[in-house]
Each structure stands twice: as C-alpha cells, then as structure tokens.
Amino acid sequence: MSQQAKWIERAKAVLPAGGFGNFDHSVIIKEGKGSRVWDEDGNEYVDYLIGSGPMLLGHSDPEVLDAVYSQLGKGMTFFANNAAGIELAEVIVDAIPCAEQVRYVTSGGEADMYAIRLARAYTGRNKILKFEGGYHGMSAEAQMSLAPQVLANFPQAVPDSAGIPQSVAEQMLIAPFNDIESVRALLDEHESEVAAIIAEPLQRVVPPGLGFLKALRDECSKRSIVLIFDEIVTGFRLAYGGAQQAYNVVPDICTLGKVIGGGFPIAAISGREVIMKHFDKEMVGQDKFLMQLGTLSGNPIASVAGLKTLEILRRDDSYARLHASGKKLMNMMSDALTNADHEHQIIGHESLFDVVFTKRPISDYRSYQQADANKNAVFNTLLRKNGVFKSPAKLYPSLALTDEDMAHTQHAIVTAADSLEKHMQALRESN
C-alpha cells in the first residue's frame, strides 16, 4: 500500500468522510515550496490551488518565513494588542478604499458573519440581501442559496445545510447576480427592513456586468442600506486595493482574508468609522454594542506574515507579473481547447479564473450551472494526472510561477484538451 493510501485509511477512521471538509480527500499533501506541491507518494504538481488562494507569493516564501521566524521566539499569541497587528491594520487602512478602521478575526467566514451582524447593529434592521451562488462562509445566513440543488423562485432562500432554523431563511432575500432590476424590485418592497446587501464583487469567477456594482452602490446610498463587499478572495488579489480599486466602487464594509495573513489564520472586517464604532461599547452604549472577541484575533505570527506579504505586493512589478502570468494561462487554456474543438469560455479575472464548457453567456449562478460540469471535472482530473493541481472551479495564479512552470502547465493543458473527448466518450458509455 502506498503512503498516500495508508494516510487515506487513517483519515477515514478519525475524520468524518475522511477529510477536513475542504479539498478532495484522496490527495494528502506533504510539502509545498514556491509554485509546487508534493503528495505523500512524492507526486509533484504545479500548484494553482495555493491553499484556496492565500499563498499569492507561493509556498514558504523565504522573506515571509524570515519574518515569522523572527517573531516565533518572542511569542505566538497574547490575547492582547501587539505592535504587528496594529501595524497591519494601518497598512490595510492605507490600502483599502473603504477601510477607516479594522477589527480582526481568524477566518473569512467569521469576518462575513460579523459584517452581517455589524450592518444589523448599525441600521437596526434585520433582512440581508445576498446573491444566489455567492459564497460568504459557513454562517447560517451564508449557507442560504449558496449552491441550491432545487432552484426556488426569487427571493426565497434555500438552506444548503442541515441544522439551520427556518427563521434564518425568513430574514434573507435572494437575488440573481448581475440583475439590478431584480434588486431594485426587492428593495422597493422591503426597503425599510433591509440592513445590507452582501456581494462578492467577482462572484466566484463570474465578473460583475458593466455598471452593476455602481448601481448597487447607488441603491444602497439612496436607501441608507449598508453595502458589504466580501473581498476575502479578491482583496489584495485583483489589485492592491482589492476589487473596490479594480472596479472603482467603494462599499461601506469589506471583509478581508486569505492574503492578509500570508498563509496564517487571520481575517478582518474593515469599513467606515461610523459603522465600525459599534464594536466600541463606550461609543454606542450597551444596546448597540456588537460583542466580538477571538483567542487568535490579530495574533503576531499571522500579522508579521501578512505585513511582509503586503510589503512584497507593493513592489513595483508584483501585480504586473501576476496579471501577465494569469493572462498567459488564460490564453494557453483557450487556445488548446479551441484547437481541440471544445466549446468553452474562460471567465473571471487574470488573477482568478476558470474554464466553463459552454458558449452561452455566464452572468449568474443559474447560467453558470448550465455549463457542462462533467466535462469540467474530467478536464481537471486530466490536468492533475499531468501534474497540474487546481480547484474544481477556480485557477489561482501566484507570483511564484516560473517559465518552467508555465511550460509544464502548457504541456498539461494541451495533453488534457487533446484527450478530453476520448475520456468524455468513455464516461458516456459507462453511464
């Protein structure tokens, strides 16, 4: 039995479904360095999963490691303020257009949960409008219409998890992404009840339509509704100032994660001071105070890793290199699939994208679901067999990519594209 098979059997004995609840449980990663990862059997991959996004510099960046090593001997966490956490907050406020103040948590899902609660505290309203297919973590509100198997009529919320009370669904309004007229209709009916609209500015890999984000901004401003951008993925990835810089639309609150910890657990809620003051009991009083604390919030290890990561991203050519690599990957994937006569399109942004096997326009969750998911899964499997490691529905370029990585990736893509129809035919025959 291989080393990987042994670990898989051990995992099945102690972990529900044999995994952590994250990526494919049949892969046990042993090591990551730069742009590469190795599994327990020694198989090597060019890594485009990169920890689901946070390793924008690649694995074990030497400058980040030096910063972490320098802190380790001084303490790992204190449950108290520390200079590195304060400095990281200063850097975030300087970088992110909406950020006037910052409050730390340890995961993106936690940040989104508190952002929703903060909007309710600020407005005194309860309802939240989210977009079908939008991912905002694991809170009860976030698990409404994340990936519904049964498509309900809008604005009905469909829970994607057991254990969520029906009362949560009653406080959620669900709209199709990129459909501002649907949003306006819902707000016309429920305006006095809506605390916030929460959106991924780039929803998974579906880009916002021309003017959509600005229209959301205008509607929220007009109706005194809080606009929340979930920038857990897009923050410091699409641009140094996040999607709000890239799309030139500034929300009231944004959530940040992934990159700001350089691979360590930290996330943040950031926003306008008038809203963020609800974390301060002396400013707002007991009735409007939002209690929030966490053992590892703002811990110095994650903070120094984040500070060094953001320092590297501020260097002159970082984003130019990242976007150039992403554009090259998008083109090589499209060219290979076109040459092999596969209907497809590449959607997303140079720093975060994927292929969908359909020519129909993709604007929201339902149109995305019309693509050929089986073909996408087979294509991803073929890429992995040829040494390319990626998420089922995303490809994350990193700054660690080399010319050798790009050549390896191109060979893997061409090989996968050329053999894709044969494997699809075998799948059809087996069914």
CA dihedral 121, 124, 126, 132 (to 10 degrees): -70
Residue with tokens 């080399």: 402
Coil, helix or strand at residue 60? coil
CA–CA distance from 31 to each of 7, 240, 428 (Å)? 15, 28, 36
Coil, helix or strand at residue 340? coil
Provide mean pLDDT across the span 239-251: 98
CA–CA distance from 377 to each of 204, 313, 384 (Å)? 17, 33, 11
Query: What pLDDT score does 150 carry?
Result: 85
Query: What pLDDT score does 427 carry?
Result: 87
* Cα within 13 Å of Cα(54), Cβ side: 20
| 135 in catalytic set | yes
Q: Which of 230, 252, 354, 405 is catalytic?
A: 230
Go through the domains of the chain in sequence order and give each one's CATH number.
Answer: 3-60+317-430 (3.90.1150.10), 75-313 (3.40.640.10)
Neighbours of 66 (CB within 10 A): 12
**H/E segment holding residue 255:** strand 253-256
431: pLDDT strictly greater than 90: no
**CB contact set of 63 (below 8 Å; sequence gap of 6+):** 308, 312
The string of pLDDT tens digits covering residues 48-101 is: 999 999 999 999 999 999 999 999 999 999 999 999 999 999 999 999 999 999
Provide mean pLDDT across the span 195-214: 98
Q: Which of 48, 104, 114, 135 is catalytic?
A: 135
The string of pLDDT tens digits covering residues 218-232 is: 999 999 999 999 999
CA dihedral 227, 233, 235, 237 (to 10 degrees): -140
Query: What pLDDT score does 166 carry?
Result: 93
The bridge status of strand 194-199 relative to strand 29-33 is: unpaired
Nearest to 161 by CA among 140, 192, 178: 140
* Listed range (44-53, 146-155, 220-229, 401-410) with the worst mean pLDDT: 146-155
Evaluate whether 221 touches 16 at the Cβ level (below 8 Å). Answer: no
201 cis-preceded (ω within 30 degrees of 0)? no
368: pLDDT strictly greater than 90: yes
CA distance 393 to 420: 17
Output DSSP code: residue 286.
Answer: G
Coil, helix or strand at residue 199? strand
Backbone phi, then psi, for 232, in 5-degree steps?
Answer: -55, -40
| 230 in catalytic set | yes
Residue 104 tokens read as: 């730390």
CA distance 328 to 429: 35
| 258 in catalytic set | yes
User: What secondary structure does DSSP assign to 105-125, as a single string?
Assistant: ESSHHHHHHHHHHHHHHHHS-
Q: Which of 127, 258, 277, 390 is catalytic?
A: 258
Residue 406, judged by CB atoms within 10 A of its CB (0-12, 13-18, 19+), counts as: middle
Residue with tokens 């948590």: 105
- pLDDT band per the 50, 70, 90 thresholds, residue 132: very high
Chain center to CA of 250: 18
The string of pLDDT tens digits covering residues 186-199 is: 999 999 999 999 99
Query: What pLDDT score does 1 carry?
Result: 83
**CB contact set of 370 (below 8 Å; sequence gap of 6+):** 358, 360
Provide mean pLDDT across the span 391-410: 97
